[in-house]
């Protein structure tokens, strides 16, 4: 059994609302209690985005505790989504946990090499109408594989740690081993090529023609996925 936790505390013990950017750190207190009171339980700290829990997992936890890392937390910050008043200026990149500070982005990127982390894109797409033109935009980033996987390659390259072995370990084998999943069928592979391409402003879902705004829309990515089956 694996306990997967979205570890954010929204309301303090005194009943006060905790700011979005502080909720993951506030939830760490309870996460530590679970880790210490149920030793040996396999736990995943989903989409870790703040330096404090990342450092706790790397330095204080045994191998039964892992964390998922999402591409958007590797390259974007709070200022990319919110203005000084805390209002969303880019609803397309509004997510939970919210994007954090530069120090947290650095912690996420450095944690890729830790064997206590694995790729977790936290793909949560919403129709465009739920994101734009509303006073209450939905939380969640559309993070499809053709965008998420090359973004990880870019980050690893920028950090000077990109190798085929480490890339496969981070994006596949750490998670599959932790969850005790079978290996992919022989011959099913994903190939990354060094090729710059523009991320479109819209992706249309094949099953219902729903349009969504992909992560990094309008940007260029320097790696590209080629599927081989």
pLDDT tens-place string over residues 15-26: 999 999 999 999
Q: How high does pLDDT run on average in the chain?
A: 94
What is the average pLDDT across 161-176?
96
* Residues marked as catalytic: 122
Is residue 229 very low, low, confident or very high in pLDDT (cuts 50, 70, 90)? low
3-state secondary structure 150-217: HHHHHHHHHCCCCCHHHHHHHHHHHHHHHCCCCCCCCCCEEEEECCCEECCCCEECCCCCCEECECCC
What pTM was estimated for this model as a whole?
Answer: 0.94
pLDDT recorded at residue 189: 82
- What CATH code is assigned to 2-185? 3.20.20.140
Task: Look at residue 185 in the predicted model and tell me its pLDDT.
Answer: 81
Average pLDDT, stretch 30-40? 97
Where does the pLDDT of residue 86 fall: very low under 50, low under 70, confident under 90, or very high at 90 and above?
confident
pLDDT tens, position by position, 37-75: 999 999 999 999 999 999 999 999 999 999 999 999 999
* Beta carbons of 50 and 24 less than 8 angstroms apart: yes
> Binning pLDDT at 50, 70 and 90, where does residue 228 land?
low
Check whether 36 has a pLDDT greater than 90. yes
Residue 179 pLDDT exceeds 90: yes
**Domain residue spans of the chain:** 2-185
Question: What mean pLDDT do residues 203-223 have?
Answer: 88
């Amino acid at each position: 059994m694996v306990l997967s936790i979205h570890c954010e505390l929204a309301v303090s013990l005194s009943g006060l609302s905790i700011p979005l950017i502080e909720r993951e750190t506030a939830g760490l207190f309870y996460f530590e209690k679970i880790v210490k009171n149920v030793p040996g339980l396999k736990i995943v700290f989903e989409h870790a985005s703040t330096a404090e829990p990342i450092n706790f997992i790397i330095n204080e936890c045994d191998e039964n505790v892992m964390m998922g890392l999402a591409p958007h937390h590797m390259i974007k910050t709070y200022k990319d989504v919110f203005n000084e008043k805390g209002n969303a200026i880019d609803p397309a990149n509004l997510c939970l946990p919210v994007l954090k500070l530069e120090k947290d982005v650095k912690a996420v990127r450095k944690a890729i090499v830790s064997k206590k982390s694995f790729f977790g894109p936290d793909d949560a797409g919403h129709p465009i109408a739920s994101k734009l033109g509303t006073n209450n935009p939905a939380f969640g980033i559309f993070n499809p594989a053709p965008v998420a996987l090359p973004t990880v390659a870019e980050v690893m390259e920028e950090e000077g740690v990109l190798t085929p072995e480490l890339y496969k370990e981070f994006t596949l084998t750490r998670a599959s081993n932790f969850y005790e999943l079978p290996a992919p069928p022989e011959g099913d592979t994903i190939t990354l090529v060094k090729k710059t391409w523009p991320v479109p402003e819209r992706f249309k879902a094949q099953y219902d023609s729903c349009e969504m705004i992909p992560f990094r829309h309008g940007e260029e990515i320097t790696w590209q996925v080629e599927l081989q089956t």
